A and B are shown apart, each in its own frame.
Chain A
Amino acid sequence: MTVDEMDLVRQLKGAAPLRPGAYEQAQAMLRDAMAESGRRTRRRTLSLRAKAGLGAGIAAAAAAAAGIALVVTPAPRPAGAAGAVPQASPVTSRLVSLAAMIKASGGTLPGDASLVIRTQTIDGKSPDVSYNLYTDSGAFYGGGDKKSLMQAVARHEDDADGIDAREVAAARSAAGGDLAAARVRMVNASPNYLGLGLGPAARKKIWAQAKAKSAEIYKEKGIEFPANPPAGKALQEDADNYLWNNSVEALSAGGGDPQVREGVLRLLSTISAVTVANSTAGGQPALTLTAGPEVFGGAGSEVLTVNARTGMPVKAVMPAEGNVPSSVQTFQVSRVTLAGIEAGRF
């Protein structure tokens, strides 16, 4: 076959692939723009906190690419799997103590929804404020300001995707029941291909489906899709990544419910890479929970500050790491009524 000019030009096709963190950063920029556009776009920060490498990163993107919301029903857990509950260390037992304190304080809070006013500053740029309303019945309304939130509620623009509801349910189950089962439930609350809680054959099948659907995308990115699902320590770390991200989301979505806060703290106490220290925030005693690099694929960390008496989220800080920019979020959580929001009483 004769070589022609097109064959020659194709020889110049090669280019160094973008680093995986660049895709995360670009997506974060898009999310930022979406929020600023004033549309009902929730300010999920999962992409910033997701792993930059393989594993959870692949699973999340693969699921998104395939348009699949795969929810794995927890099944009896094989011995030694990542759902196992590690022994609480002296530091993380502070979380268990706080969880017990929240439980003892008892009682449900007034209102029928939690309003989370989230202020996020990415890479030191001007802060972005979002108004997020999570109802006890599982609906979600979002806005860039007070007025747009009121409009969203008035127009019944429920933007719930089901993930929050599953995360909150998993947290509640951790408060009163089997912690190992709740851990699996929380990991599986958001789409992923880990197949946590399933047997080896089922996990391999799910992984193969993910690979088939995403092979082309990852080839374009210059990343090799692993032949087999993660196992052992890698599985533990991927599961911890989901557990941390989803638990922090649950704390926002269900922070108005003491049972959710209790459950989230108990779940976070099972992550061995999370350390806890005493601090203060706004003059109030606080606990800072630091999720180390093991939770983020070996690079990066995140510090979550919660009120030391209530477990309410106060702040989440992620230092810059590689191409992923720094992020500082503060939370103002309050209990409200849907009718009150619609009437502007907040």
Chain B
Amino acid sequence: MTSDAELIGRSLAGDGQAFMEVICRHEGAVGAYLARRAGREAAEDLLGEVWVAAFESRGTYDRSFAGARPWLYGVALNRLRRYWRSRPAEDLVPDVTSLGGGWDPWPAVDARVDTQAVLRAALARLKPEEREVLTLVAWEDLTAADAARVLGRPAGTARRLLHQARTALRNEPGVAALLTDLNRVKESQ
């Protein structure tokens, strides 16, 4: 099968259909990535903007990477950041000033059950880049190196961020209690 890199090359040479083929390959994954971070409604609005932004910036794509999915996640992340910045503060978090970037939406995400509430609260307390690497690995099944491509950071930095995120989560009292309970139940079974 033709690689994404080859298709992007063909697209740069004027073959519009080639870029559409790249989109068809990854639209499900990128749509899910957006939905997990902004909800379905917003994701549906953002997806087209992501494709347009990707098309306009495809000249910068590093074609030594055969697969374009991490790059597309990176484009999607940039759109998400703009989206989050554009949201009214009350939609995000009651105390925005307590967060480093001032646009972090995670604390506002609804918690449906206790376990999820504990986890989401713990995720919300991570630094944005730590959380992004962690969720890229846990939810999008990327390696730390691919997560680094998404963030435009060196692979070593992504690995460090992942390590810090995991350590911080493990040390969160609520998460630590959950892990203890779950592993105790497993052992007793």
Q: Enumerate chain A interface residues (CB-CB to B < 8 A).
A: 1-6, 8-13, 15-19, 22-23, 25-31, 33-34, 37, 39-42, 61, 64-67, 157, 159, 161, 217-222, 323
Contacts and interface: CB of A to CB of B under 8 A. Distances in A.
Size bin of chain B's contact surface: 35 or more
B96 interface: no
A219 B186 CA distance: 30
Contact of B186 (A3, A17, A218): A3
Contacts of B19: 30, 34
B21 A64 contact: yes
A26 B76 CA distance: 13
Contact of A29 (B49, B135, B137, B182): B49
Contacts of A161: 17
Given A15-B32, A26-B47, 8 more contacts: A5-B166, A29-B51, A31-B20, A67-B1, A159-B14, A220-B28, A220-B32, A222-B28
Contacts of A323: 44
Given A11-B119, A161-B17, A6 B31 contact: no
Contacts of A40: 14, 16
B51 A8 contact: no
B83 interface: no
B90 interface: no
Interface of B: 1-2, 14, 16-17, 19-21, 23-25, 27-29, 31-32, 34-36, 39-40, 43-44, 47-52, 55-56, 115-116, 119-120, 123, 134-135, 137-139, 166, 169-170, 175, 178-179, 182-183, 186
A218 B31 CA distance: 12
Contacts of B139: 9-10, 12-13
A15 B38 CA distance: 10
Nearest to A40: B14
| Residue in B31, B39, B55, B135 whose Cβ sees the most chain A Cβ within 10 Å | B31
Nearest to B176: A5
A30 B2 contact: no
Contact of A30 (B31, B34, B55, B138): B55
B34 to A, nearest CB: 8
Contacts of A220: 28-29, 31-32
23 contacts: A4-B170, A4-B179, A6-B166, A8-B169, A9-B123, A9-B135, A9-B138, A12-B123, A12-B139, A15-B32, A23-B28, A26-B27, A29-B49, A34-B19, A37-B55, A40-B14, A65-B24, A67-B2, A161-B17, A217-B24, A218-B28, A220-B28, A221-B27
Contacts of B23: 27, 30
Contact of A6 (B40, B44, B137): B137
Nearest to B134: A9
A2 B170 CA distance: 13
Contact of A25 (B39, B48, B166, B179): B48
Contacts of A9: 119, 123, 134-135, 138-139, 169
B65 to A, nearest CB: 19
A231 B3 CA distance: 34
Contacts of A6: 134, 137-138, 166
